[in-house]
Chain A
Amino acid sequence: MAAKAAAHGDEAAKAVKGALGAVGTGADDAAGAAFAATKKAGAGVAPTSNTGQLGSYTNTHASGATYSGKGTRARSQQSGRRQARAHDDPHVATDFTPAENAREALKQESRRIDAHGGVSDPSNYNQIESPGRRFRIEDGELLE
């Protein structure tokens, strides 16, 4: 497997050169219906990775701090483990919302970050703005 990964990495490097845990869930944590891959310019690849439907999530940790993100439900759990280790703050709950495409998932993520005080709020483990913020501006939801 390591050799395969290394080979894959080498391919990516060549491309660059050429280019010059089970937790509780929230009220809106509903299983999403299957949907078509609606790729929209600027929004990357639509749906799925690993298990489940693409969407956005907010993980709550034991201290009350939150971390919001874009990804599948499986991603939300992996994310919870990472932040729990990084901050020594157990992951206690997940609120997940399905999205119809990647762009909408990113916009959801941005709204979640803002709803928890934004990236400058110390109780929010997100320190980096989501591209969803730009998409919200482009779509007239936010002023620059």
Chain B
Amino acid sequence: MSEVPAIDQAIVAMLSGLEGVEAEHDELTDTDVRESIHLVLNYFFVSGKNDRPLPVAYGMFSPEGDAAVSAVVREFLAATRSIRNIDQYPVGQARLDLLQNPKLATPQGRIYDEFIGHTDTPIAQQELPAYLYEPDYDE
């Protein structure tokens, strides 16, 4: 039996972690949240940038929800950086294809697009939107 690559394990763990967050915060797959997660992963993982703090506001309805999403994303990025041969996955399309692998599913059988949406090519980002650092909660 072939061994599952560490990067795939990290992606499944992240998707599973997000699915776990949704169990308590069902807004997890709202478009604002899904696109926020995508933008952050696109910036830090797909583009390989690491020149700013991780965002704290993913569009969840509560500080607890945003903290939970932040923790999952932070854990994923840390896991990818600790993969010994991570450099074999070049930044750009190759890394986007890793994230958008439809064969990687959560325990409930759900795939990436429910949590991060889909793009055919990496989004060109010079910077991240300010709203990712500015929580906005209704009373």
Which B residues form the contact surface with A (CB < 8 A)? 9-10, 12-14, 16-17, 20-23, 25-32, 34-35, 38, 59, 61-72, 74-76, 107-110, 113-114, 116-119, 123, 129-131, 134, 136, 138
Contacts and interface: CB of A to CB of B under 8 A. Distances in A.
Contacts of B118: 128-129, 131, 133-134
Contacts of B21: 12
A111 B13 CA distance: 31
A42 interface: yes
A128 B34 contact: yes
A75 B32 contact: yes
A88 to B, nearest CB: 11
B113 A78 contact: no
Contacts, number: 159
A85 B130 contact: yes
Interface in A1-24: 1-2, 4-6, 8-13, 15-17, 19-20
Contacts of B12: 19-20
Chain B at the A interface: SS class = helix
Interface of A: 1-2, 4-6, 8-13, 15-17, 19-20, 41-42, 44-45, 47-51, 68-72, 74-75, 77-79, 81-82, 85-86, 102, 106, 109, 119, 126-131, 133-134
A17 B75 CA distance: 8
B16 A44 contact: no
